[in-house]
Each structure stands twice: as C-alpha cells, then as structure tokens.
C-alpha cells in the first residue's frame, strides 16, 4: 500500500491507547506505519492513569476488607501498610506492560521510533534530528495535568507524580472535583492517610446525575474523607520540617505532607511544531477535527483526549479503530458516542450510562424515574454502614431506558452489562421481564417496579 512518494503511509505521534490501536490496525490492513513516542509505551492509561490507579484502588480496599472479615468470623487484625511494596510492585507491572505494548507494535509490523516528533511541514516530521515523510500524520498525544500558577504552586504535585512518591503522605490534601480527584481521595483515605478534598464549587462531579452526586458525597464523607466544598487554595507554604501549609481563600489553613492538584488536563501539544502546519484549534485549546478525525490540514489527523471529546481509554480505542478502517480498509466507520458507559472508581464506586435525570428532562417530554437505596447484604454482617443507590430513567413515550446510574460496590462491573442492554434499545418492560440473579445487588435493576413520585 505504501506510496513510494513518502516513507510511510501513516506516521503516528504518540503511543497511547488511540495511537497504538490506530497504528496496529492500519498496519494489519496493509499500511506502512511508524509510531514516535518520547515518554512511555501505552500512554497515560497504562503508565499514570487507569491501570496504576485501579491497582491502587484494589490496595486501598483491603483496609475495609480486614475490618469486614471480623464480622464473618475471621480473627483479623489490620496489618501495617507498606507504601514502598505497593509502589515498587506497580512499577514492575507497568514495566511489563510497556514491553507488551512494544512487542505488540513490533509484531504488527509497526516501526517504533523513540523520541519527540515535531512537524516540519504537513507531510514531514523530525525525530531526534532525522526527518520522516508520510502521506498522513496522526496526532495522538493525549492530555497532560494542569496545575494553575499561584504562590507556592511549585509545591503541588499532579496525578503523574502521586503514584511514585518516595514516602507515603500521612496527610494528603486533594484539590479538584472531577473523577481523578475523587478517586485519589478515596485511594489515600483507604490506604490510611488523613485525606482532605477541596473543591471550589458547591458539589463535586459536575456533569453527573444530581442524585448520584449527592449520594456519593454523603457516602464518601462517611468513609472518612474530609470533603470541603466552596473552598480553594490561595497559596502554599513549605514548612521547616518539609511539610506543607495550604492557605485557603477564607484565611484558614491546612497542614499536610502532600498536595495533589487534580483540577483538569490540557492537550499535550506543546513543542510539536504547530507553527509549521495549519491545524486549527477549538476555543478550549483542543484540536478541531471532523467526523473522520481529520484536522483543518488535510493530511493531519487527531484523535483521543486532544480532540476535546470524552476522555476515556475505550473511546480513544474506538476512534483508532474507526480511523484505520476508514482510511486503510475501505470501510467508512464512525464512532457512536451515545450510551457510553463509564465508572468512577471512588469508594463506593460510581457507574453510569446514558442520560442524567436533568438531561433526560430536557430531551423528553415525560420521563419516569425508578430508584433503590439499600444497605448491601455483605455489610449487614461486615458491619459497614455504607449504602448503595441505583437509578433508572425511562422515556415514558417509548418505554426505553435512557439513563442508568449506580453508586455502590462493583458499580463499574454491573453497569457494563447494563450498557449492552441500553445499546440494544432495552425497554423498562424488558428489564422487568428479566429474572434477576439472587442474591446480588445487580438484581435491583430488574426488580424496580414503582416509579418515583414526580
């Protein structure tokens, strides 16, 4: 397939989820492909995102498991947590995954080039002083944590550094109200740190269903995280013992050992030679693309987080697959962004798919809401007061389930299956006629019979 006018059919900048999928599939379809990566194979998800985060979530859940065990007859004492063991085991696992990604690309016939790629023109990039030409160039460099500039901001750390701290922060201050902030507050609370989460707004997890936000806040606070809304840092001071003091905008202060800023991410497109190509940006700095992921420069494409869509690994994977099929398999493919399920691995977990109640009210003339709030069977003997909340939103006209939400243990695992039903267009009648698995939390979704009074 290679056009001899160029070195490659496709040159990919960034070996994260989207870039790897696009390059592997394009190569499988016969294209000559190269990938340039200047940091680590697998991108954010594998190295400083989904994978290490979930490993740390697992680690943090043992503190409750040891306590729960006593109610079930196990004479268990909570042992001491060793941060270095978790951190170093994580490093070993990520190194293994880096090698897997490297091999995966090599086995697919993709040439891997280590280094920062910069545009020379719309068909040429430079990596380590060597130039490469390509018929098409794909930008898949993802996003990067953003810490605002304020007095003492240099003492704050981002989600990139939090996994590999030399010593465990016994007192952690988390700033932010998105899923990253909420997840890390839960992780370090579970690992035994005195954890405080600040958010400048009145309630975190903006964009999620209102009932989910309120219920999650109540349960997270009950788990031990000190939630402080309508609060923000004005300055950070380093104290004589190397601890930190956060001075808040109201004049109060919080002393801690580390301050994690999870206040947003920005496209990682600095120093790629944008001044040499005509790639238009959206108002928020993300890259503007059409439905085929093509930028304003016809030979340059972009996908994943840098395009301003849903910042989810499976979305980038789907986009990479769609791009490869469209360009190199004569199979025009577009990604369906409706009913994409997602989870927040806070404690308890949040799982969600489809519309929030607020969105459904705006879209449909008449909706019905079904909900369930209960204490999971496991906790009746384990002793935890943690509760689970589930919610179904139905368009009355068609009886279709248009939103499904949950806060509770294994919410992500449960909502994945429910998302398949929603994608298939399941109605409330189908949910009702489905026989549940007893005793499980998931069966609640097929036994909700009475709509909430409007």
- Note the pLDDT tens digit of each residue in 307-334: 999 999 999 999 999 999 999 999 999 9
pLDDT at 354: 98
Asked if residue 376 has pLDDT above 70, the reply is yes
Q: What percent of the chain has pLDDT over 90?
A: 97
pLDDT in tens, 221-247: 999 999 999 999 999 999 999 999 999
Do 8-57+82-144+266-328 and 342-446 share a fold? no
Looking at domain 153-263, its CATH superfamily turns out to be: FAD/NAD(P)-binding domain (3.50.50.60)
Name which of 5-9, 193-197, 210-214, 271-275 the model is least confident about. 271-275
Helices (H) and strands (E) counted in the chain, each on its own, are 12, 21
Sign, Cα dihedral of 252, 255, 259, 262 = negative
Asked if residue 12 has pLDDT above 70, the reply is yes
- Main-chain phi, psi angles of 48, to 5 degrees: -135, 30
Asked if residue 449 has pLDDT above 70, the reply is yes
Asked if residue 151 has pLDDT above 70, the reply is yes
What DSSP line would sit under 346-401, residue for residue? Answer: SSS-EEEEE--HHHHHHH-S-EEEEEEEE--HHHHHH-----EEEEEEEETTTTEE
From residue 109, give the alpha-carbon distance in Å to each of 100, 267, 316: 14, 29, 21
Sign, Cα dihedral of 328, 329, 334, 336 = negative
Asked if residue 2 has pLDDT above 90, the reply is no
Q: pLDDT grade, residue 77 (50/70/90)? A: confident
Asked if residue 435 has pLDDT above 80, the reply is yes
What element of type H or E holds 424? Answer: none
pTM: 0.96
Q: Which class is 8-57+82-144+266-328 in CATH? A: alpha beta
Say which DSSP state 445 is in: G
Q: Tell me which residue has tokens 């901001």.
A: 153
pLDDT in tens, 99-147: 999 999 999 999 999 999 999 999 999 999 999 999 999 999 999 999 9
Q: What is the mean pLDDT of residues 347-364?
A: 97
- Main-chain phi, psi angles of 26, to 5 degrees: -60, -40
Asked if residue 7 has pLDDT above 70, the reply is yes
Q: What is the mean pLDDT of residues 401-411?
A: 98
Residues facing 137 on adjacent strands: 11, 300
Q: What is the mean pLDDT of residues 30-38?
A: 97
Please, what is the average pLDDT of the chain? 96
Q: Rounded distance, CA 35 to CA 24, Å? A: 10
pLDDT at 231: 98
What DSSP line would sit under 20-51, residue for residue? Answer: HHHHHHHHHTT--EEEEESS-TTHHHHHHSHH
Residues in the chain: 454
Domain ranges of the chain: 8-57+82-144+266-328, 153-263, 342-446
Q: Are 125 and 11 in contact (CB under 8 A)?
A: yes
Q: What is the mean pLDDT of residues 194-221?
A: 98
Q: Are 236 and 246 in contact (CB under 8 A)?
A: yes
Asked if residue 167 has pLDDT above 80, the reply is yes
Residues forming the active site: 438
CATH architecture of 342-446: 2-Layer Sandwich (3.30)
Q: What is the mean pLDDT of residues 242-264?
A: 97
Q: What is the mean pLDDT of residues 379-383?
A: 93
Asked if residue 58 has pLDDT above 90, the reply is yes
Q: What percent of the chain has pLDDT over 70?
A: 99
Asked if residue 1 has pLDDT above 70, the reply is no
pLDDT at 3: 64
């Amino acid at each position: 397939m290679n056009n001899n006018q160029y070195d490659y059919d496709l040159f990919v900048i960034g070996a994260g989820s989207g870039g790897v999928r696009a390059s592997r599939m394009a190569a499988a379809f016969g294209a000559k492909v190269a990938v340039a990566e200047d940091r680590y194979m697998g991108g954010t998800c594998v190295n400083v995102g989904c994978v290490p985060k979930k490993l740390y979530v697992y680690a943090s859940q043992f503190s409750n498991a040891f306590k729960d065990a006593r109610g079930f007859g196990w004479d268990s004492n909570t042992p001491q947590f060793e941060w270095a063991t978790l951190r170093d085991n994580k490093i070993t696992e990520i190194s293994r995954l880096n090698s897997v990604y490297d091999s995966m690309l090599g086995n697919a016939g993709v040439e891997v080039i280590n280094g920062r790629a910069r545009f020379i023109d719309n068909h040429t990039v430079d990596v380590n002083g060597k130039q490469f030409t390509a018929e098409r160039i794909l930008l898949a460099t993802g996003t990067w944590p953003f810490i605002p500039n304020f007095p003492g901001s240099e003492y704050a750390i981002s989600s990139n550094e939090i996994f590999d701290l030399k010593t465990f922060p016994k007192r952690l201050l988390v700033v932010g109200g998105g899923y990253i902030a909420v997840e890390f507050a839960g992780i370090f609370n579970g690992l035994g740190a005195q954890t405080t989460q600040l958010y400048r707004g009145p309630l975190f997890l903006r964009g999620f269903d209102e009932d989910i936000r309120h219920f999650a806040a109540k349960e997270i606070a009950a788990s031990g995280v000190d939630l402080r809304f309508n609060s923000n840092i004005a300055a950070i001071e380093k104290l004589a013992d190397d601890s930190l003091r956060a001075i808040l905008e109201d004049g109060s202060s919080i002393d801690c050992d580390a301050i994690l800023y999870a206040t947003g991410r920005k496209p990682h497109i600095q120093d790629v030679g944008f001044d040499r190509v005509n790639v238009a940006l959206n108002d928020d700095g993300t890259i503007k693309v059409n439905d085929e992921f093509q930028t304003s420069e016809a030979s340059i494409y972009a996908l994943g987080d840098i395009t301003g869509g849903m910042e989810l690994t499976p979305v980038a994977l789907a986009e990479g697959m769609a791009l490869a099929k469209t360009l190199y398999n004569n199979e025009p493919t577009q990604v369906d962004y409706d009913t994409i399920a997602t989870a927040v691995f806070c404690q308890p977990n949040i799982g969600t798919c489809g519309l929030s109640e607020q969105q459904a009210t705006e879209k449909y003339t008449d909706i019905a809401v079904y909900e369930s709030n209960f204490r999971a069977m496991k906790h009746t003997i384990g002793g935890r007061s943690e509760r689970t909340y589930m919610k179904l939103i139905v368009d009355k006209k068609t009886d279709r389930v248009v939103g499904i939400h949950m806060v509770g243990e294994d919410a992500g695992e449960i909502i994945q299956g429910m998302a398949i039903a929603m994608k298939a267009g399941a109605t409330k009648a189908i949910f009702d006629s489905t026989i549940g698995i007893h005793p499980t939390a998931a069966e609640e979704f097929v036994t909700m019979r009475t709509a909430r009074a409007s």
